[in-house]
């Protein structure tokens, strides 16, 4: 009888791929496979490639800051104040005689560590609120969402100023402020994704093996939100860099003398007519980083949507 | 115009799609003619290029598709290479198209009349009043009830069948010479489909229009087409008059399509289905030689080397196969004897235990309707409910299959989900293995969860795209401690083998699997806990016919080897008959008829069952279309009709009693129950 025929639906194996029993080699292979797929995705979008290159340049600057600068960012040289670029100070010096290039390079370290960190914290908060709101719906959703609406009603920059004024300027408090300011938007995104995914049949299947709600949210729903969340994460690092700069400019960022791009603009702008270099360098740094992150995220989003 | 010349003549058509990696030839060397008044059916599995052929006629191939070769002659004029503007004029006036999704083919923000007059005003220069009058005429031609009012409605105020009627009326407005229909009834219920098919057949006869009818359903094509072209992976493999295709097919693929269809007239155990192994190759990766040879059970050595040409073996019958003439006689004999042998060996089930596995007693599943007023929020309004399932009672005995059939919206999926615990039960009782399980899933004991599993409908939603196939089955095994932890891996492989997938599937991700394979993994996951009962909610309705057969065979085999009790929810009466011992027919939340399978498929029946059976499209052009047709649509379940719920559509309605009183239970013996006001005598003879 045909019933006992093995493999009625014959599977065509990819040519040249031997049948390996389940083992680590397969897992490693799968890992590289997914890396290659992601890379293909990025490289198929010129926008994403350019964005990624800009970001990578800044990451390299941050990582190798001590190697590519001749001076410490804190070293003050009172004989050379507000100087234009020279061979010794490639981007000139600021009003305290500090090397602008060093401050930009070390400032990249600040912003590229605080930015992702604060967005990461914001994601933790946003996930903790958005997953249950989307999964349970009803009253849970109502309460969480109305509370977040209230928070979103504040203009973002005002919210940051209130938080920093209340807690005092420090890198820790900048992280807190950006996490609180970003969480509502993330929670909304996560909630929307969850509301869609919770109706899928694999979620029903998980319920039918008696999995707890927590398990279902973590194991079934969260991993399938990752695409939009990764794009959002990149975009938000851009916003965070922008807001850290703004806070620095308003004097609410990192306490001096920490090298900080926003702070550089703030300190330099009163001497701008005499020496444009500190302001120009810091502004360009912020602009290029934010544009780079945005292009990377946008390119990634467009490309991943196209093949859905 | 010359009557003997074809309206549409397609010669050596090739269509290419440009993708990121390469150009894909989706359609190759397709040739056919359609004469006046003739209906050409185009059949094949999904991915065979049927729709591409239709779209290339009107140049709707999208930005990346292009006709790369061949001629499209419409009334002798070349269509290929025409400018957009010329084609636009032609499309509206002389070539019309009806699409698959009536809902998305109509503009939801425009009244029906505004959409209908557009083409008359644009192509014929009618004034608006004339055009509206003409549209009204057109709606009457398609037997639209209450046509005047329909003109002023929006598409969401019409049922699916009415929407499709509007679209057909629109397509016929300009008396086109050619009507292209792309799966026009696939999105409709069988009862509605039957009525739309009647309409298409009648209109075509009346107006002598040439038509091209695309469908994956052989029964539908048998009903409306004069000749049929069978497509496989972008090529026509057989082209013949309908009669010949169904009674004397000559290509193994055509034969395969016929042999894998469950027959609504054959009871359980008398037939096995013969699935076609494998799947349609991607046009980017075509096999050498005959493209069907890797799946062909009759392939010989030469088949994978030589690509057969489409050859006319008798007048009007073209076949693309290397086997010819006398080659066939032996094959047909072997198949005929094999089938008759199977007919003599019905499936044996060991043990005739009469134990009730599941007992559903007057179960109701109601959903509250959200309040629309502020007063409602404060409890000042009576709460309304959607009566999704109402007073449903049945029992299922061990090792048997209960099929539940009905149109969409009749509550069959709801009751299935309520049984497994995915929907709350509003009132009534469900007893499973003598344990009351009429409570929420998280309050049920882990044992009753384990013993009651489900197979889902949508192959794309069944598996979590983030985990490998093996992991997902392993989750279940670990959760229920079915086997000791160190044996989980081996057990998953064993389960994969039991659904005819080999161990290499363990590490595959769901997106690397075809629909049928995903459904198999879903089944493996459901049986991994060794459940006493599996609820299958439309397990094959989203699959191609050849794959459907394989999955149905698999479920049947699992039932035989494990003595699993199964509830099969389906709208397809043929697969229910193939698979079920008992059948319950549901309408608008109620069971209207229940009984052993054999009694359901013969009179006496409930009028609704009669209509359902009459609507099943049979893959036989000689089957006389039944006269019993349902009109209207399933009423709202918020305010179901009083008395018998079927009274608004019943073709055999007696009178006021049907609207006022609940229908009595008629016991026809052997567990066959009918809920109807008609007396058993009248039910036996429904043609009065």
- Looking at the structure of chain A, the number of domains it has is 1
User: What pLDDT does residue A214 have?
Assistant: 92
Cα atoms in the Cβ-side hemisphere of radius 13 Å centred on B267: 14
Residues A119 and A191: their CA atoms lie apart, in Å, by 18
Residues B9 and B137 in one domain: no
CB < 8 Å to B489, chain A: 22
Q: Maximum CA pair distance of chain B? A: 81
The answer to the question of residue A263 being in a domain is yes
Q: Is residue A61 part of a domain?
A: yes
Between A and B, how many CB-CB pairs are < 8 A?
112
User: How does residue B569 score in pLDDT terms, banded at 50, 70 and 90?
Assistant: very high
Closest chain A residue to the Cα of B508, Cα to Cα: A30
Residue whose pair of structure tokens reads 């193994």 in the numeric block: B252
Give residue for tokens 């409890």.
B379
Domain span including residue A272:
42-306
Greater confidence (A234 vs B298) lies with A234
The backbone torsions φ and ψ at residue B49, rounded to the nearest 5 degrees and listed phi first, read: 95, 15
Strands B665-667 and B673-675: antiparallel
Is residue A7 one of the residues assigned to a domain? Answer: no
How many domains does chain B fold into? 3
- Single out the residue of B423, B309, B435, B306 nearest to residue B363, CA to CA: B423
Segment A19-40 mean pLDDT: 66
Helix H or strand E encompassing B453: strand B452-455
What is the least distance, in Å, from the CA of B513 to any CA of chain A? 9
Rounded to an integer, what distance in angstroms lies between the CA atom of residue B195 and that of residue B615? 8
Task: Say yes or no to pLDDT of A5 above 70.
Answer: no
Here the CATH number for the domain that contains residue A261 is 1.10.3720.10
Same domain, B109 and B89: no
What pLDDT shows up at residue A264? Answer: 85
Of B32, B589, B116, B40, which is closest to residue B365 (Cα–Cα)? Answer: B589
The ipTM (two decimal places) reads 0.79
User: Do residue B14 and residue B40 come from a single domain?
Assistant: yes
C-alpha angle A195/B413/B443, rounded to 5°?
A: 65
Q: With contact defined as beta carbons under 8 Å apart, do B175 and B207 qualify?
A: yes
* pLDDT reading at B628 higher than 70: yes
pLDDT band at A14; cut points 50, 70, 90: very low
B486 within a domain of the structure (yes/no): no
- Report the side by side order of strands in the sheet with B210-214: B95-98, B178-182, B210-214, B39-43, B227-232, B235-241, B317-319, B311-314
CA angle B308, B310, B311 (to 5 degrees): 105
User: Which pLDDT score is estimated for B403?
Assistant: 93
Alpha carbon B79 to its chain centroid, in Å, reads 34
Alpha-carbon gap, residue B200 to B189, rounded angstroms? 16
For A200-224, what is the mean pLDDT? 90
Please compute, for residue B500, the number of CA atoms within 13 A of its CA located in the half-sphere on the CB side: 26
CA distances from B221 to A252, B42, B230 (A): 74, 8, 11
How much is the pLDDT for B328?
66
CATH of the domain at B360: 3.40.50.300
Question: Quick check: A200 contacting B, CB < 8 Å?
Answer: yes
Asked whether residue B492 is domain-assigned, the answer is no
Q: Which two tokens stand for residue B321?
A: 């196969």
For B461-470, write each residue's pLDDT tens digit: 889 988 889 9
Angle, helix A100-136 to helix A277-306, in steps of 10 degrees: 40
End-of-domain residue from the set B118, B150, B173:
B173
Confidence tier at B346 by pLDDT (50, 70, 90): very low
Global pTM exceeds 0.90: no
pLDDT, tens only, A149-187: 999 998 988 898 899 889 988 888 989 999 999 999 999
Same domain, B445 and B336: no
pLDDT digits (tens, 9 = 90+) for B430-451: 888 888 888 877 788 888 888 8
Please determine, for residue B344, whether its predicted confidence score (pLDDT) is greater than 80: no
The residues facing B569 across adjacent strands are B404, B537
Residue A302 is assigned to a structural domain of this protein: yes
More confident residue, B437 or B351: B437
State the average pLDDT over residues B75-102. 80
Q: How far apart are CA B647 and CA B217, in angstroms?
A: 31
- CA distances in angstroms from B21 to B18, B24, B282, B284, listed in the order given: 8, 9, 14, 10
CA distances from B274 to B57, B215, B271, B687 (A): 35, 21, 9, 36
The whole-number pLDDT of residue B99 equals: 84
Percentage of residues of chain B with pLDDT beyond 70 = 92
Lookup: tokens for B277? 């192994």
For an interface test with A, give the residue of B461, B528, B538 to mutate (most A CBs within 10 A).
B461
Answer yes or no: is A16 within a domain: no
Tens digit of each residue's pLDDT (9 = 90 or more) over B51-69: 888 888 877 777 788 888 8
User: What pLDDT does A146 receive?
Assistant: 93
Choice among A86-100, B147-161, B232-246 with the minimum mean pLDDT: A86-100
Instruction: Find which of A3, A4, A306 to mutate to test the B interface (most B CBs within 10 Å of its CB).
Output: A3
Cα B625 to Cα B241, B494, B615, B619: the distances in Å are 19, 47, 8, 12
**B521-553 pLDDT, tens digit each:** 999 999 998 899 999 998 888 888 888 888 888
CA distance B393 to chain A (A): 23
- pLDDT of amino acid A22: 47
Q: Which residue has the tokens 């699959």?
A: B543
DSSP characters over B38-67: -EEEEE--TTSSHHHHHHHHHT---TTEEE
**Do B88 and B68 sit in the same domain of this protein?**
yes
Please tell me the predicted confidence (pLDDT) of residue A18. 46
Tell me whether residues A202 and B442 touch, CB distance under 8 A.
Answer: no
Gap between the Cα atoms of B240 and B180, Å rounded? 19
Residue A50 maps to a domain: yes
Q: Are the C-beta atoms of residues B562 and B398 closer than 8 Å to each other?
A: no
What is the maximum span of chain A, computed from C-alpha positions, in angstroms? Answer: 97
Looking at per-residue pLDDT, the higher value among B393 and A276 belongs to B393
Instruction: Compare B281 and A195 and report the one with higher pLDDT.
Output: A195
- B258 lies in the same domain as B318: yes
Percentage of residues in chain B with pLDDT exceeding 90? 10
Asked if residue B228 is part of any domain, the answer here is yes
Q: Which of A31-35, B372-376, B479-483, B541-545 has the lowest mean pLDDT?
A: B372-376
> Which residues constitute the domain of residue B141?
104-173
Q: Give the three-class secondary structure for B314.
A: strand
The shortest C-alpha distance from B147 to chain A (Å) reads 38
What the block records as the tokens of A113 is 């560590």
Give chain B's mean pLDDT.
83
pLDDT for A148 equals 93
Question: Cα dist. A146→A133, A136, A184, A192, B254 in Å?
Answer: 11, 15, 10, 15, 60
Q: Is residue A274 part of a domain?
A: yes
Q: What is the pLDDT of residue A26?
A: 59
What integer pLDDT is reported at residue A10 of this predicted model? 41
Rounded Cα distance, A253 and A241, in Å: 11
3-state SS track over B552-592 = HHHHHHHHHHHCCEEEEECCCHHHHHHHCCEEEEEECCEEE
A positions 217-246 inside 8 Å of B (CB): 219-220, 223-224, 226
- Closest alpha carbon to B332 in B298, B292, B300: B298
Angle between the B128-141 and B112-124 helix axes, to the nearest 10 degrees? Answer: 110
The answer, for A207 touching chain B at a CB cutoff of 8 Å, is yes
DSSP string over A171-197: HHHHHHHHHHHHHHHHHHHHHHHHHHH
B45 with B137, same domain: the answer is no
pLDDT confidence bin for B174, thresholds 50/70/90: confident
The structure tokens listed for B140 are 């009457």
Q: How confident is the model at residue A17 (pLDDT cuts 50, 70, 90)?
A: very low
Query: Which region among A20-34, B373-387, B540-554, B568-582 has the lowest average model confidence (pLDDT)?
Result: A20-34
């Amino acid at each position: 009888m045909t019933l006992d025929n093995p493999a009625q639906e014959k599977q065509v194996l990819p040519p040249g791929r031997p049948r390996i029993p389940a083992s680590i080699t397969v897992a490693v292979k799968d890992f590289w496979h997914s890396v290659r797929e992601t890379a293909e995705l990025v490289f198929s979008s010129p926008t994403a490639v350019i964005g990624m290159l800009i970001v990578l340049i800044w990451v390299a600057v941050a990582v190798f800051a001590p190697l590519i600068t001749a001076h410490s960012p804190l070293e003050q040289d009172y004989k050379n104040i507000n100087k234009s670029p020279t061979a010794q100070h490639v981007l000139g010096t600021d009003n305290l005689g500090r090397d602008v290039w060093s401050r930009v390079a070390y400032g990249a370290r600040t912003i590229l560590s605080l930015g992702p960190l604060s967005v990461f914290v914001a994601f933790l908060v946003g996930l903790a609120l958005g997953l249950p709101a989307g999964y349970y719906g009803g009253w849970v959703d109502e309460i969480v969402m109305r509370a977040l609406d209230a928070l979103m009603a504040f203009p973002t920059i005002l919210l940051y100023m209130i938080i920093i004024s209340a807690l005092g300027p420090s890198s820790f408090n900048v992280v807190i402020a950006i996490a609180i300011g970003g969480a509502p938007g993330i929670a909304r995104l996560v909630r929307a994704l969850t509301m869609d995914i919770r109706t899928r049949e694999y979620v029903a299947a998980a319920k039918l093996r008696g999995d707890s709600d927590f398990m279902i949210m973590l194991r079934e729903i969260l991993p399938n939100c990752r695409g939009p969340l990764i794009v959002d994460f990149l975009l938000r690092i851009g916003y965070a860099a922008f807001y850290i700069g703004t806070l620095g400019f308003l004097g609410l960022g990192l306490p001096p003398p920490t090298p900080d791009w926003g702070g550089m603009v703030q300190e330099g702008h009163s001497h701008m007519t005499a020496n444009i270099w500190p302001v120009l360098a810091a502004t360009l740094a912020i602009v290029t980083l934010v544009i780079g992150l945005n292009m990377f995220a946008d390119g990634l989003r467009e490309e991943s949507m196209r093949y859905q | 115009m010359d009557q003997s010349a074809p309206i549409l003549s397609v010669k050596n058509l090739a269509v290419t799609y440009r993708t990121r990696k390469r150009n894909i030839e989706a359609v190759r060397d397709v040739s056919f003619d359609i004469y006046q008044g003739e209906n050409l059916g185009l059949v094949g599995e999904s991915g065979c290029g049927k729709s591409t052929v239709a779209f290339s006629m009107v140049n709707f191939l999208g930005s990346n598709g292009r006709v790369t070769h061949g001629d499209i002659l419409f009334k002798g004029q070349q269509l290929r290479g025409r400018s957009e503007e010329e084609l636009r004029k032609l499309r509206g006036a002389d070539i019309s198209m009806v699409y698959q999704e009536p809902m998305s083919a109509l503009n939801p923000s425009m009244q029906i009349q505004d959409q209908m007059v557009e083409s008359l005003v644009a192509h014929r220069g009618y004034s608006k009043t004339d055009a509206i009058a003409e549209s009204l005429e057109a709606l009457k031609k398609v037997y639209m009830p209450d046509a005047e009012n329909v003109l002023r409605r929006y598409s969401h105020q019409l049922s699916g069948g009415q929407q499709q009627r509007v679209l057909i009326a629109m397509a016929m407005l300009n008396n086109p010479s050619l009507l292209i229909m792309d799966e026009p009834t696939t999105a409709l219920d069988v009862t509605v489909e039957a009525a739309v098919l009647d309409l298409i057949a009648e209109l075509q006869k009346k107006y002598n229009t040439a038509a091209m009818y695309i469908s994956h359903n052989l029964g539908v094509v048998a009903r409306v087409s004069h000749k049929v072209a069978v497509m496989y992976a972008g090529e026509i493999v057989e082209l013949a008059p309908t009669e010949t295709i169904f009674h004397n097919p000559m290509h193994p693929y055509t034969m395969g399509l016929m042999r894998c269809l469950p027959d609504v007239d054959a009871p359980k155990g008398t037939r096995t289905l013969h699935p076609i192994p494998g799947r349609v190759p991607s046009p980017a990766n075509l096999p050498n030689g005959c493209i069907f040879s890797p799946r062909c059970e009759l392939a010989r050595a030469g088949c994978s080397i030589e690509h057969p040409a489409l050859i006319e073996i008798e007048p009007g019958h073209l076949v693309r196969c290397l086997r010819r003439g006398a080659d066939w006689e032996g094959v047909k004999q072997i198949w005929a004897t094999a089938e008759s042998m199977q007919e003599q060996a019905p499936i044996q089930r060991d043990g005739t235990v009469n134990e009730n596995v599941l007992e559903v007693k007057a179960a109701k599943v109601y959903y509250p309707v959200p309040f629309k007023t502020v007063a409602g929020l404060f409890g000042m309004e009576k709460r309304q409910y959607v009566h999704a399932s109402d007073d449903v009672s049945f029992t299922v005995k061990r090792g048997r299959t209960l099929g539940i059939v009905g149109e969409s919206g009749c509550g069959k999926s709801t009751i299935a989900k309520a049984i497994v615990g995915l929907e709350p039960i509003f009132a009534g009782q469900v007893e499973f293995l003598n344990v009351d399980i009429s409570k929420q899933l998280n309050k049920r004991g882990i044992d009753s969860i384990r013993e009651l599993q489900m197979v889902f409908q949508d192959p794309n939603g069944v598996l979590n795209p983030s985990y490998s196939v093996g992991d997902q089955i392993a989750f279940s095994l670990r959760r229920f401690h079915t086997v000791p932890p160190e044996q989980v891996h081996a057990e998953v492989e064993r389960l994969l083998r039991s659904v005819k997938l080999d161990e290499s599937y363990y590490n595959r991700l769901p997106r690397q699997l075809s629909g049928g394979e995903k459904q198999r993994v879903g089944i493996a996951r459901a049986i991994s806990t060794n459940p006493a009962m599996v609820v299958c909610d439309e397990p094959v309705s989203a699959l191609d016919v050849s794959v459907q057969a394989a999955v149905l065979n698999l479920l049947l085999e699992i039932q035989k080897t494990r003595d699993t009790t199964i509830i099969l929810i389906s709208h397809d009466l043929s697969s229910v008959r193939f698979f079920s011992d008992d059948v319950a027919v549901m309408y608008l939340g109620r069971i209207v008829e229940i009984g052993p399978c054999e009694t359901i498929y013969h009179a006496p029946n409930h009028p609704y069952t009669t209509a359902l059976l009459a609507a099943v499209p049979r893959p036989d052009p000689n089957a006389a279309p039944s006269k019993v047709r349902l009109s209207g649509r399933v009423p709202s379940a918020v305010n179901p009709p009083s008395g018998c719920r079927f009274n608004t559509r019943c073709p055999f309605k007696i009178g006021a009693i049907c609207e006022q009183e609940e229908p009595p239970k008629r016991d026809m013996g052997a567990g066959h129950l009918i809920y109807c006001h008609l007396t058993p005598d009248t039910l036996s003879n429904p043609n009065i």
